Structure 1
Amino acid sequence: MNVSEAMHKKAQWVSADTPVTEIARLMAKGDIGAVPVGKNDRLIGVITGRDIALRIVASGRDPASTLAEETMTAGIVYCRTDEAVDDAIHLMDQRKIRRLPVLWS
């Protein structure tokens, strides 16, 4: 089975210049814990609820004036829709990650 048959197809993403408050609202509305971040039509990172808690709230930064690019985890690992699910699972296990964004092939 390919990843395209198993993935969540309505994923949302934000641009690098999106304020963290807007991302938190998106997460709350969609009941999601991670949002991919893009810039110049490329995936550049992911921002999680944990990123917001530790990098913004715990450090006393203003989420309204802090942008996604300043908060996200860079160096994102991803797969493509035409890859086998077993390969995606192996990649997640190998990299010790819980979320794997999927790019359309």
Structure 2
Amino acid sequence: MHVSEAMHKEVRSVTPTMPVKDLAKIMKTEDIGAIPVVENDRMIGMITDRDLALRAFSDGHDISMLTAREVMSPGATFCHATDRIEEAVHMMEKHKIRRLPVMNAQNRMVGMLSIGDISHCGSKPLTDLLMKSVSEHHA
């Protein structure tokens, strides 16, 4: 099975200048835990709910002044829609990530692959392996 058959096709993205307070509202309203940051039609980073907690809220910053660029994880990992699910899972395991942006042949974002997507379409052993890997504590 290819990633294109399992991924979410609608992906919410934001610009690097979006205020963090607006990002948090989007995450809450749309019930999402990660938002790609796109500039000039290219993904330049990713913001997760963990990024917000650790880079914006925990350090006592004035969140009314912070932007997506200041809290994002730059240079996000991604896969391609034509990749096999197993390849994407191995990438998620390697980088210990729960969501993987999906690009087309022109490196334009066309979807997002999540642990939930894998659990619905992948084999049980593959899902179990992924869950174990991304749930381990970071060294």
- Please confirm whether the aligned pair reaches a TM-score higher than 0.5, indicating the same fold: yes
Alignment map for 1:38-57 (pairs within 5 Å): 38-57=38-57
Distance in 1 (CA, whole Å) between partners of 2:81 and 2:32 is: 21
Residue in 1 that maps onto 2:63: 63
Residue in 2 that maps onto 1:37: 37
Which 4+ runs in 1 deviate beyond 3 A? none
Query: Based on CA coordinates, which of the two structures has the bigger radius of gyration?
Result: 2
Measured against aligned partners, the alpha-carbon deviations of 1:57-76 in whole angstroms (never above 9, x if no partner) come to 11111222111001001121
Structure 1 position 82, deviation (Å): 1.1
Distance in 2 (CA, whole Å) between partners of 1:63 and 1:84 is: 40
Alignment map for 1:7-46 (pairs within 5 Å): 7-46=7-46
* Length-normalised TM-score, structure 1: 0.93
Residue in 2 that maps onto 1:75: 75
* Length-normalised TM-score, structure 2: 0.72
Structure 1 position 80, deviation (Å): 1.1
1:101 is paired with a residue whose SS is: strand
Distance in 2 (CA, whole Å) between partners of 1:88 and 1:31 is: 23
Number of matched pairs: 105
Letter in 2 for 1:34: A
C-alpha RMSD of matched pairs (Å): 1.1
Percent identity between the two aligned chains: 46
Mean alpha-carbon deviation: is it higher for 21-30 or for 54-63? 54-63
Structure 1 position 39, deviation (Å): 1.2
Letter in 1 for 2:39: K
Residue in 1 that maps onto 2:96: 96
List gaps (5 residues or longer) in structure 2: 106-139
Letter in 1 for 2:72: M
